[in-house]
Amino acid sequence: MLVKLALRNVKRSARDYLVYFFTMTVVVALMFAFNSLLFSEDIRKMFEQAMIMEAMLGLATFFIVMIIAWLINYMLRFILEKRSREFGTYLLLGMKKKQIAKLYMRENVLFGAGAFLTGLVLGVLVQQMIMSVLYSMVSMDYRIHIEMNKNCLIMTGSCYAGCYILALLGCKRKLGKMNIYRLMNAEKQNEEIKESHEELKKWLLPVSGLFLFLFGVWLFFGKNWSTQLVLLFLVGLVLVIYLFYMGLSSFIVCYVRRKGKLIYRGQNLFLLRQFSSKIKTMQFTMGTLTALFVLAFLGCSVAMMFNFYQDRMLAQKMPFDVHIHSEYVQDTFAAELAVIEENARIKEKYLYHIYENGTDQVNVYLYTHLKVFGDMYKKEDGSPDRQVIAQKRNFTYCTYDTYMGLTDYNHLRDMIGLEEVSLNEEEYVIHIKDRVLRETGDFSDQIVVEGSQGPLRFSGYFSEPFSQDGHNGGDYVIVVPDALTAKMNPFYSELAVELVDAAPENLKKELDQAAKGLDFKQVDVVADLDEEETLYANSCCGSDSIVVYVADNLVRDNVVVEVKCMLSTLIFPMLYMGLVFLCVALTVLSIQQLSDSAKYRFRYHVLKQIGMGAKPVAGLIFKQLALFYLCPALFAMLISGIIAGFVGGKFNYYSGAATPVGQYLGISFLLFFGVYSIYFAATYVGFMHNLEENSVK
Amino acid sequence: MPVSTGGWEQEMKEYINVCEVEKYYGSEAGMTKAVDRVSFTVAEGEFVGVMGASGSGKTTLLNMLSTIDSVTAGHIYFQDTDITELKPDQLSDFRRENLGFVFQDYNLLDTLTMEENIVLAMTLQKKSRKEIVKDSEEMMKLLGIWELRDKYPYQVSGGQKQRCACARALINRPKLLLADEPTGALDSKAAGTLLETFQNMNETKKATIFMVTHDAFSASYCSRILFLKDGRIFHELIRGTKSRREFLNAVLDVLSLTGGESDAC
């Protein structure tokens, strides 16, 4: 009998909670698809960073399980409240609490199992989509084939079951505590509008605004970020997210009480009161939804920033097909060339040196003037602290400034399709990363490059992409006439190679293998330079951060794929979380509105009685739903806009990319509103359907 | 029992004319006749009551008159307009401009205060702010709920809620006030106050009132009562010059003759 009743109840409530069912299905589908990345044999074989991807997805799964457990718990409590009268009646009829709990659990297990199975079917489709996106991101072909891994199924099933168990535990406790009276009256609990200290609480709205303004100013212009201050702002932000709604609701209540002009126009009075009372009773939920939206926006935007980086920046970072660094100036790169020749056809090869003359003026200037180093290398009076620079140079720059001869420079420029540069014997140029130059501006007056007949004249900067992460200097290389480099010491050797075709898949691995075999031989050759400092003095990697790929052997076509894989380990989990958070938040909004439609039916019925036509009522419902849906979204857009602006600025700053942050935030918002409009349309249609069931013509 | 109209309609200006109205519910297999070929008229400024047992069709009749429900057959003329022919949009305009409603369960909006419930009815009519403030204050004072203006419906008694509903119904000076068991949820004192308000509105403001009730005490405030049975009018009582007590006895007589329900106080 209980099973029959449970089945009937599920069937009956299925339409009311269709959105919830839809979300649970989508969540299972996403879980299955992303989990399949964890267990995919293909991926393991294909990508070196599969382990990182697994770790990141595992982390994402943890947060997702938590949030889904919250959603299920929220829904269980919500449905319990809505059906409390029914459960009260069961109690009155003589059913035991245990039986009712069992009935409710059975219904939910049936509901959950239904969503799980549907989700798995959808999950196979999503899996194929994700796989093909992943493969196309790393420029590989993907042939559709369905991978049903046992472990993946077990993991998806246990995550899902885990969510349910977590949620059910909380709910069972609540059910156990209820008595008939409370069950019969639970429905009415939220109907009373309690207003107290509204005049005081309304100030929370401007205070929230002020806080966000200060937060923005602090993010963009703040310099001294102590841990306490960071914590204070973070706690403040969380508080503001929650208190904002209290403030907004009270602000509207006070406005209506003050009889502001707006309330005397059309349906405004009704709309404002509906909205304020709804957010008053739901302020905690609204806060949580805002937080979820913020995370979804940020996840999406950051994922797109990385995507931009891998699309545009990676190729720029490595203008040469193959670029090999050697700390040893005598290196002829014979072994490496042999490997390359064995695996590919060489179009052009060029072996050259980077030089030093024992000076470090540019290094010191950059160490003390780039924001990324702060005051680390400065003494209290602001002058450079040479001791610290020597001890903690962190391989950003080499121990000495890096120089290059004009002939080498022009040859390399020619190889990558740049125009030649001409210099007089008394002139020099600096080739520097665009990002660094933008920050420092012209600093040529701070350095003196001594020529044979006195200081050279500075002739200009060049900032095209030039493989400057340790190959052609850390962030810069000073280009001087050949006559001058002839008098300098070769610092390290470089080999630049252009290939006829794309590099084969394993060229980098082969080169790395070859280099390993060479180490001992080379060390023997330069055994007299046995001091560690001397050995690594000519190693550097530049001041870029966030996405940095530093290696002696750079094979562009291989590295691009490798870095793309690495970045997709960030992009995918972020999109995954963003999407799930978005769906969860929108489900809560939808279910809230749909289940309230019964209460609203009465209100609209009254409005129709006092003369509102069907069209104006439909318009009013649209406005009401839009207001309710837009409020947390707009607030989240404001917060995430501030944070994404800051994060994007930093991302560009540290990675050297010129990511159009605003554009990506815009795309995130568009994506968001795409998903949003599906839920909104479903809610609106469902809402109207519920109202029409018993309506006045 | 014969219907006695006594040519009363000719003395006053005809306002509403209900002609051969029928209302059926259900499918062809199981048809229920809720209202069966009912005809009557209501004159301007009249206070008409409709009485009958549960299921006699009185609420259905009121719903059709108030355009909330459609007729299956027949016509309802409101002055010169046949409201059974109006389209949905025209119907809502008609309701807004001509009708006021008072229901047993008040139908107040729980998110609005007492005053706001009244104000909303006026803002939907696109009245000016000045007019809204002035009229709503006057109406609330008239119905004795001015002190309660900032309270929410759940904070006041049933009688006070009903007076608020009454104020909302009357604020736009409707041509017809429709009341469906308005005293059904009230205690006798509150019911008396409300009915006196109706009577007062009827006498001083010349409001036309059409009230459905199964309570003889409430009905005794009317100037004319239609008795409904199985969807048909089977009797009509006119108060004329009778006192309220005499009229109440007459109503009770009719009810005792027909074995109808009575909640007379």
| Nearby residues of A456 by Cβ (< 8 Å), 6 or more positions away | A426, A427, A428, A449, A450, A480, A484
Which chain B positions have a beta carbon within 8 Å of A613's beta carbon? 88-89, 91-93
Contact (Cβ atoms closer than 8 angstroms) between residue A585 and residue A630: no
B79 touches chain A (CB under 8 A): no
- Predicted confidence at residue B147, as pLDDT, reads 92
**Residue B263 counted as domain residue:** no
**Residue B160 counted as domain residue:** yes
| Nearby residues of B192 by Cβ (< 8 Å), 6 or more positions away | none
**Residue B222 counted as domain residue:** yes
Per-residue DSSP letter, A418: P
Q: Which of B68, B69, B92, B108 has the highest number of chain A CBs within 10 A, making it the mutation to test binding with A?
A: B92
Q: Which of residues 165-224 of B touch A (CB under 8 A)?
A: 168
> Residue A253: closest CA among chain B residues belongs to which residue?
B112
Q: Which of B87, B99, B120 has the highest number of chain A CBs within 10 A, making it the mutation to test binding with A?
A: B120
CB contact under 8 A, A269 and B119: yes
- Nearest Cα to B202, choosing from B213, B194, B214? B194
Q: Which residue has the tokens 């007729």?
A: B71
CB contact under 8 A, A697 and B88: yes
Domain positions in chain A: 1-189, 321-556
Residue B210 three-state SS: strand
Question: Rounded to whole angstroms, how far apart are CA atoms A584 and A20?
Answer: 9
Ranges A36-45, A427-436, A437-446: which has the least confidence: A36-45
Whichever domain contains B124, its CATH number is 3.40.50.300
| Total number of domains constituting chain B | 1
Question: Rounded to whole angstroms, how far apart are CA atoms B112 and A445?
Answer: 73
Contact (Cβ atoms closer than 8 angstroms) between residue B144 and residue B173: no
The whole-number average pLDDT for the span A60-80 is 82
| E strand or H helix that includes residue A454 | strand A454-455
Question: Rounded to whole angstroms, how far apart are CA atoms A326 and B64?
Answer: 95
pLDDT bracket for residue A247 (50, 70, 90)? very high
CB contact under 8 A, B96 and A610: yes
Question: b/e map of A541-556 (b: 16 or more CB within 10 Å)?
Answer: bbbbeebbbebbbbbb
**Residue B221 counted as domain residue:** yes
B92 touches chain A (CB under 8 A): yes
Q: Which of A189, A194, A609 has the highest number of chain B CBs within 10 A, making it the mutation to test binding with B?
A: A609
In order along its 265 residues, chain B shows pLDDT tens digits of 444 443 333 445 678 999 999 998 876 667 788 898 899 999 988 999 999 888 888 888 998 988 878 899 999 998 888 999 988 778 878 887 888 888 887 888 888 889 999 998 888 888 888 899 999 998 898 888 899 998 888 888 888 888 899 888 888 888 889 998 888 877 888 888 889 888 888 888 788 999 999 889 999 999 999 999 888 998 999 988 888 899 999 999 988 877 654 444 3
- Predicted confidence at residue A672, as pLDDT, reads 81
Q: List pLDDT tens digits, range A449-459.
A: 888 788 899 98
Question: Rounded to whole angstroms, how far apart are CA atoms A669 and A281?
Answer: 27
Q: Which residue has the tokens 């419902």?
A: A621
Please spell the DSSP secondary structure of A151-185, one letter per residue.
HHHHHHHHHHHHHHHHHHHHHHHHHHH--HHHHHH
Question: Rounded to whole angstroms, how far apart are CA atoms B35 and B22?
Answer: 5
Amino acid at B37: R
Contact (Cβ atoms closer than 8 angstroms) between residue B149 and residue B180: no
**Residue B11 counted as domain residue:** no
- Predicted confidence at residue A48, as pLDDT, reads 63
| E strand or H helix that includes residue A427 | strand A427-432
- Nearest Cα to A34, choosing from A188, A138, A204, A159? A159
CB atoms within 10 A of CB A103: 19
Is A32's pLDDT higher than 90? Answer: no
Report the phi/psi class of residue B16: left, alpha or beta, with left for phi > 0 and alpha for psi in -120 to 50.
beta
A188 touches chain B (CB under 8 A): no
CB contact under 8 A, A259 and B92: no
Tell me which of A387 and A529 has the higher pLDDT.
A387
Q: List pLDDT tens digits, range A215-230.
A: 888 888 876 667 788 8
- Nearest Cα to B104, choosing from B161, B153, B49? B161
Which chain B positions have a beta carbon within 8 Å of A274's beta carbon? 111
| Nearby residues of A659 by Cβ (< 8 Å), 6 or more positions away | A305, A308, A309, A648, A651, A652
CB atoms within 10 A of CB A600: 18
Q: List pLDDT tens digits, range A587-614.
A: 888 887 877 776 778 888 888 877 787 7
Which chain A positions have a beta carbon within 8 Å of B112's beta carbon? 269-270, 273
A13 touches chain B (CB under 8 A): no
Q: Could you give the percent of chain A with pLDDT greater than 90?
A: 10
CB contact under 8 A, B108 and A268: no
Q: List pLDDT tens digits, range A294-310.
A: 888 888 888 888 877 77
Select the residue of A261, A263, A611 nearest B92 (Cβ to Cβ).
A611
- Nearest Cα to A436, choosing from A661, A659, A660, A654? A654
- Predicted confidence at residue B29, as pLDDT, reads 66
| Nearby residues of A239 by Cβ (< 8 Å), 6 or more positions away | none
Which chain A positions have a beta carbon within 8 Å of B109's beta carbon? 270, 273, 603, 606
**Residue B247 counted as domain residue:** yes
| Nearby residues of A617 by Cβ (< 8 Å), 6 or more positions away | A604, A607, A608
- Nearest Cα to B102, choosing from B202, B177, B186, B175? B177
Token reading at B240: 């004329």
Residue ranges in chain B assigned as alpha helix (H): 58-65, 88-98, 114-123, 129-142, 158-170, 188-204, 216-219, 244-258
CB contact under 8 A, A610 and B120: yes
- Predicted confidence at residue A190, as pLDDT, reads 46
pLDDT bracket for residue A524 (50, 70, 90)? very low
The CA distance from A610 to the nearest CA of chain B, in Å, is 6
Question: Rounded to whole angstroms, how far apart are CA atoms B179 and B157?
Answer: 19
The whole-number average pLDDT for the span A385-404 is 84
Alpha carbons within 13 A on the beta-carbon side of A642: 18
Question: Rounded to whole angstroms, how far apart are CA atoms A30 and A159?
Answer: 12
Its ipTM equals: 0.73
Per-residue DSSP letter, B154: G
pLDDT bracket for residue A50 (50, 70, 90)? low
The whole-number average pLDDT for the span A636-652 is 86
- Predicted confidence at residue B5, as pLDDT, reads 40
Alpha carbons within 13 A on the beta-carbon side of B101: 26
Domain that holds residue B158: 45-56+89-258
The whole-number average pLDDT for the span A136-140 is 68
The CA distance from A179 to the nearest CA of chain B, in Å, is 24
Contact (Cβ atoms closer than 8 angstroms) between residue A591 and residue A678: no
The packing angle between helices A268-281 and A556-609, to 10°, is: 120
Question: Rounded to whole angstroms, how far apart are CA atoms B222 and B207?
Answer: 12
A609 touches chain B (CB under 8 A): yes
Token reading at A26: 């989508």
CB contact under 8 A, B101 and A609: yes
| Chain-centre distance for alpha carbon B189 | 20
Per-residue DSSP letter, A345: -
Which chain A positions have a beta carbon within 8 Å of B91's beta carbon? 613, 697
B30 touches chain A (CB under 8 A): no
**Residue B17 counted as domain residue:** no
Residue A460 pairs in a beta bridge with: A429
Which chain A positions have a beta carbon within 8 Å of B93's beta carbon? 611, 613
Q: Which residue has the tokens 């069209």?
A: A615
